[in-house]
């Protein structure tokens, strides 16, 4: 019997733990939110217990698993399996998460950044199948990337390669990123920019059909709201989505000039904006790239779906 994979996707609100087969299909899964209020060691114990629960309730042995892959947002020192910093969880500064989890298991435990995990999932099980090189870009609350070169993740000196969201594309803007710099790609284009962009359009006198009540906490204006706006043909929502698409298209163009990959896969919540969004992204990219494309480049939305994080984490065990 081919071994199963175990994936753990540690998010800021939800932690998903799953058994995944070598085709990338989920066999069984546990979602928990209980990790949020635990300290480092408490979180590790909880996740380890859930993994053991999954093994037991599927009548498996630990050795039926290839390994345990964990994905977590933040800066990860890959070789050492250490979370350097993460904004998803309290604490976890320079925390050796991989080794802490390894104490509970004999099979290998791997820890990587969530964008890298999703990239490797897309490479193994999704749109990247059959390619040697590709770039995965996740457009969500933030923007991150995973770079596959010669069938492996390229991680750089520390393990933080692919932080494309922090590349600066508009230095003379008022939009500031969580990192403190102005005009990072993620400050301009992703979920965290939406409230600012909405307020700006309204201040410019634009009328939105969204009818957001005056007492609404505008910092909670999410991609889902704008999706509603898009569906009701709201001009303000469409303008914001177009603005985001412009910068994502520009970011993809910069990746293209730097790495010349044959494939760029887009994931993350904002890709739910669908064809309107992808169309604008591609239009910007092709307008900038013009006659500098000499081989086909494919830009697609990931087909892995909502479980991309945990499936990607599981994929790390196959690298």
As measured in angstroms, the least distance from the Cβ of 287 to a second copy is 9
Q: Kindly state whether residue 254 participates in binding a second copy, applying the rule CB under 8 A.
A: yes
- Separation CA 293–CA 311 (nearest Å): 32
- Separation CA 200–CA 173 (nearest Å): 13
- Separation CA 119–CA 309 (nearest Å): 9
Q: Applying CB under 8 A, which of residues 84, 210, 283, 300 lies at the interface with a second copy?
A: 84
- Separation CA 179–CA 75 (nearest Å): 12
Q: Kindly state whether residue 104 participates in binding a second copy, applying the rule CB under 8 A.
A: no
Q: Which stretch binds a second copy (CB under 8 A): 117-125, 161-169, 230-238, 308-316?
A: 161-169
Q: Kindly state whether residue 204 participates in binding a second copy, applying the rule CB under 8 A.
A: no
At residue 305, the 3 state secondary structure works out as: coil
Residue 92, by phi and psi: left (phi above 0), alpha (psi -120 to 50) or beta? Answer: left
Q: Applying CB under 8 A, which of residues 18, 48, 55, 169 lies at the interface with a second copy?
A: 169
Rounded alpha-carbon distances, angstroms, from residue 122 to 11, 155, 178, 313: 19, 16, 27, 11
Q: Which residues pair with 143 in a beta bridge?
A: 139
Q: Applying CB under 8 A, which of residues 39, 224, 258, 303 lies at the interface with a second copy?
A: 258
As measured in angstroms, the least distance from the Cβ of 163 to a second copy is 4
As measured in angstroms, the least distance from the Cβ of 284 to a second copy is 10
As measured in angstroms, the least distance from the Cβ of 183 to a second copy is 9
Residue 205, by phi and psi: left (phi above 0), alpha (psi -120 to 50) or beta? Answer: left
Q: Applying CB under 8 A, which of residues 29, 151, 166, 206 lies at the interface with a second copy?
A: 166
As measured in angstroms, the least distance from the Cβ of 92 to a second copy is 15
- Separation CA 153–CA 128 (nearest Å): 12
Site string (274-303) toward a second copy, x via CB under 8 A: --------------x-x-x-xx-x------
Q: Applying CB under 8 A, which of residues 107, 168, 210, 212 lies at the interface with a second copy?
A: 168
Q: Kindly state whether residue 164 participates in binding a second copy, applying the rule CB under 8 A.
A: yes
Nearest to 313 by CA among 156, 58, 115: 115
Q: Applying CB under 8 A, which of residues 130, 171, 205, 214 lies at the interface with a second copy?
A: 171
Nearer Cβ to a second copy (164/311): 164
138 CB-near residues (< 8 Å, 6+ apart)? 114, 115, 118, 144, 145, 266, 267, 268
As measured in angstroms, the least distance from the Cβ of 70 to a second copy is 19
For residue 247, how far is the Cα from the chain centroid? 17
Q: Where do contacts with a second copy occur on this chain (CB under 8 A)?
A: 75, 77, 84, 133, 145, 147, 149-150, 154-172, 179-181, 250, 253-255, 257-262, 288, 290, 292, 294-295, 297
């Amino acid at each position: 019997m081919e071994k199963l994979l175990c994936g753990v996707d540690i998010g800021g609100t939800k932690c998903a733990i799953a058994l995944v087969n070598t085709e990338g299909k989920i066999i069984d899964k546990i979602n928990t939110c209980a990790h949020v209020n635990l300290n480092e060691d408490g979180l590790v114990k909880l996740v380890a217990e859930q993994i053991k629960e999954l093994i037991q309730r599927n009548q498996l042995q630990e050795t039926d698993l290839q390994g345990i892959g964990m994905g977590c947002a933040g800066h990860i020192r890959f070789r050492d399996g250490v979370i350097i910093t993460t904004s998803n969880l309290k604490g976890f500064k320079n925390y050796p998460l991989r080794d802490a989890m390894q104490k509970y298991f004999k099979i290998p435990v791997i820890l990587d950044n969530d964008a890298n995990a999703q990239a490797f999932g897309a490479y193994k099980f999704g749109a990247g199948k059959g390619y040697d090189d590709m770039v995965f870009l996740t457009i969500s609350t933030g923007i991150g990337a995973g770079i596959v070169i010669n069938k492996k993740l390229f991680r750089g000196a520390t393990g933080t390669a692919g932080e494309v969201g922090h590349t600066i594309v508009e230095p003379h803007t008022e939009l500031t990123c969580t990192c403190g710099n102005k005009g990072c790609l993620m400050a301009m284009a992703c979920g965290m920019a939406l409230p600012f962009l909405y307020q700006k359009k309204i201040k410019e006198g634009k009328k939105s059909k969204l009818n957001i009540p005056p007492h609404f906490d505008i910092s909670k204006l999410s991609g889902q709201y704008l999706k509603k706006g898009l569906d009701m043909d709201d001009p303000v929502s469409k303008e914001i989505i177009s603005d985001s698409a412009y910068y994502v298209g520009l970011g993809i163009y910069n990746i293209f000039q730097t790495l010349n990959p044959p494939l760029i896969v887009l994931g993350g919540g904002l890709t739910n904006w669908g064809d309107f969004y992808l169309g604008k992204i591609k239009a910007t990219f092709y307008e900038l790239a013009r006659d500098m494309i000499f081989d086909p480049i494919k830009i697609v939305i990931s087909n892995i779906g909502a479980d991309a994080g945990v499936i990607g984490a599981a994929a790390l065990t196959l690298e």
